[in-house]
Structure 1
Amino acid sequence: MTGHIFWQDRPIPFRTGEMVSSALIRAGVIQMGSAPTGQPRAVFCGIGQCQGCLIRADGRLVEACLTPCRAGMQISPEIGGPNG
């Protein structure tokens, strides 16, 4: 492991070059928030097209499957928001 990201203040280890979605899934985090419809947000396509894995990373709205882990990154679920 090369560092930790923080999912709602919980440390999650990651490997060099790993995307946030992969690190979260490996740590058992499957639901990444909820869409305006109430449906859970989660990884679906894995290439950023569906935006099902939208999260907040250091305050910015991003796709977890396209966002590389960076040591110390603060990550939280996206509740509602775009493309839900």
Structure 2
Amino acid sequence: MNAQTFDWMGQAISFRSGESIAAALAAAGIRQFGADPLGQETRYFCGIGACQCCLVRVEGTVREACITPARAGMRVIPMEASHD
């Protein structure tokens, strides 16, 4: 069976069906998701989308990583990264 992956800053991140972006990043050892507009580090915290601590850009749109399902081939970057 082929592993499903998405792109995080040029790194292929494996995930299981139904797994969130944040859970897949955490399983890959990635705990910090980059800075927010105020320069604070974003991270996986509440797991239910309430705290807004895990904001990332998914295909250019800001999303909560903890409640956004991972999809094969998607591009995920830190919120404040260049999003050309």
Q: Please indicate the TM-score interval, normalised by the length of the shorter structure.
A: 0.7 to 0.9
- Alpha-carbon distance in 2 for matches of 1:36, 1:56: 12
Counterpart for residue 22 of structure 1 = 23
Offset of 1:44 from its aligned partner? 1.3
Task: Name 1:54's counterpart in structure 2.
Answer: 55
Instruction: Give the equivalent residue in structure 2 for 1:40.
Output: 41
Give the letter aligned to residue 10 of structure 2: D
SS in 2 for 1:66: coil
Structural RMSD (CA): 1.6
What TM-score, normalized to structure 2?
0.87
Among all aligned residue pairs of Structure 1 and Structure 2, give the percentage whose two residues are the same amino acid. Answer: 45
Is contact 1:17–1:68 with CA below 8 Å preserved after alignment? yes
Q: Distance in 2 between matches of 1:2 and 1:11?
A: 10
TM-score (norm 1): 0.87
Unaligned runs of 5+ in 1: none
How far the C-alpha of 1:2 sits from its partner, in A, is 4.1
CA distance in 2, matches of 1:41, 1:20: 13
Pairwise CA distance, 1:9: 1.6
* Runs of at least 5 residues in structure 2 that lack an aligned partner in the other structure: none
Give every structure 1 segment of 4 or more consecutive aligned residues whose post-TM-superposition deviation is greater than 4 Å.
Answer: none
Size of the alignment, in residue pairs?
A: 80
* Shift in CA distance, 35/79, structure 1 to aligned 2, threshold 3 Å: same
